[in-house]
Structure 1
C-alpha cells in the first residue's frame, strides 16, 4: 500500500464514525445480495430512521455514497476493508467460530462462501449432512458474518471477482495454496492480501465430530 493510500485511509478513519461504517458495510452487502437496504440498516445500526437518514445525508455530502442514497461511490468502497473466507461448514464447531472471528477482525466486512454440495463431496469424500442452502443459512446466522454466498463450482474466482475483497482469509486446514489464490487474483486484476488463519483447536473438524457422534450412537 502506498503512502498516499495510507494517508487517505487515516483520513477516512477520522471522518467516519462506527455507525457510518456500518451503514457503508450494509450498502456494500445489499449491492451484492439485493436485500432491502432500509430494513437491513435499521437492524444493524439500532438507530432511529431520522438518525440513519441524517447519517446518509452526511455520507452523500462527503462523497462516500451516491446521490441515489443506496450505493457506494469509489471513495465509499475504498473506505471498507472486505474480508473473504470460505469452506464447507457442514457442522459448525468452535474451530469455525474462532476462525471466522479472526477473519472478521482483519477488516470491516466478512463475506463467507460455502462450498456447493458437489464441491463438498469432492473435498470431504462424503455427502454433506446439510444442503448448500442449509449451510448458507447456518453461516448467515452467525453474528460475525455479514454475508454468506454459495460458491461457484466451475471457477472460484467468479465469486472473488463479485466480492472484490481486500483480504482473502484461509483456514489453517484449507488445501488452497497462497500462490494459487494470488495468481488467480492477478488474472481478475485484484490486489488482495492472502492471510492464513490459525485455529487454537486444530483437532476440531466436522468429519471428526460426525465420526465420534456416529460411534456414540452405535455404542448406545
Structure 2
C-alpha cells in the first residue's frame, strides 16, 4: 500500500473518532484534489479496505498500525518532540492523549500552566500527530478502548508499568504492544523549565 492510500485510510480512521468528514479531512491533510481522492477511495473500496458506505472496514483498520502516546505536555520542549517523533516511527497513525488538569495534578503533583484545550490545540498542530484527544478522568482504558491502538508508547519518565497496561488492554479485548521510548535529552522537563523561568523572573 502506498503513502497516499495510507493517508486516506488514516483520515477515515481519525474521522471515525472525531465525526468529521473524511474527504474534507483528507483534502486538508494531503492538498490533493477531491476528484483524485475519490478515485483512490473507489480503489480502496474494491480492495475491501473501505466499505461501500464509506466506512473503514476491519480489514482497512488492521492495515494501519495505530500508536497511542500520552502525557501532560504543558510546556513543549525538545524531549517532547523527540518522543513524539519516535512514537510516530513505530506505526502509521499517531494518536496523542492530553492529560486533564486533575489527572496532571495526580501525576506531577502540580496544576499545569495551560488548560487542557490549549495543550490539545498545540500538540494537535504538530505535523507528526494525526489526532490529539483530551483523556478521560480516572480510567485510561476508556480512551484506549476508543482509539484501539496496536502500540502504546511510553516516555522515559512515565510511571505506567507495562504489565498494568497490557493486562488492562486484554480485559477490553485488545492485544497491545507497549514500547518504552528513550529521550536523548532527559535533562529537559516542563517542571525544570518552569522552575528555571520562575527563578530568572525573580532574579530580575
Both structures adopt the same fold (TM-score exceeding 0.5): yes
Instruction: Within 5 Å, give how 1:124-163 maps onto structure 2.
Output: 124-163=108-147
Instruction: Within 5 Å, give how 1:20-99 maps onto structure 2.
Output: 20-69=5-54, 71-99=55-83
Question: What secondary structure is seen at the aligned counterpart in 1 of 2:152?
Answer: strand
The CA deviation at 1:126 is 1.3
Normalising by structure 2, we get a TM-score of 0.98
Is 1:176 the counterpart of 2:160 in the alignment?
yes
Unaligned runs of 5+ in 1: 1-15
Say how many residue pairs are matched.
204
Runs in 1 of length 4+ with deviation above 3 angstroms? none
Higher mean alpha-carbon deviation, 120-129 vs 200-209, is at 120-129
The CA deviation at 1:46 is 2.0
1:198 equivalent in structure 2: 182
RMSD of Structure 2 on Structure 1 (CA): 0.7
Q: Which of 192, 196, 204 in structure 2 is aligned with 1:208?
A: 192
- The CA distance in 1 between the partners of 2:68 and 2:171, in whole Å, is 17
The CA deviation at 1:36 is 2.3
Question: What secondary structure is seen at the aligned counterpart in 1 of 2:132?
Answer: strand
- The CA distance in 2 between the partners of 1:122 and 1:147, in whole Å, is 24
The CA deviation at 1:127 is 1.4
Unaligned runs of 5+ in 2: none
The CA deviation at 1:47 is 1.3
- The CA distance in 1 between the partners of 2:58 and 2:190, in whole Å, is 40
- The CA distance in 1 between the partners of 2:26 and 2:166, in whole Å, is 33
Contact kept in structure 1, 2:8 and 2:26, CA below 8 Å: yes
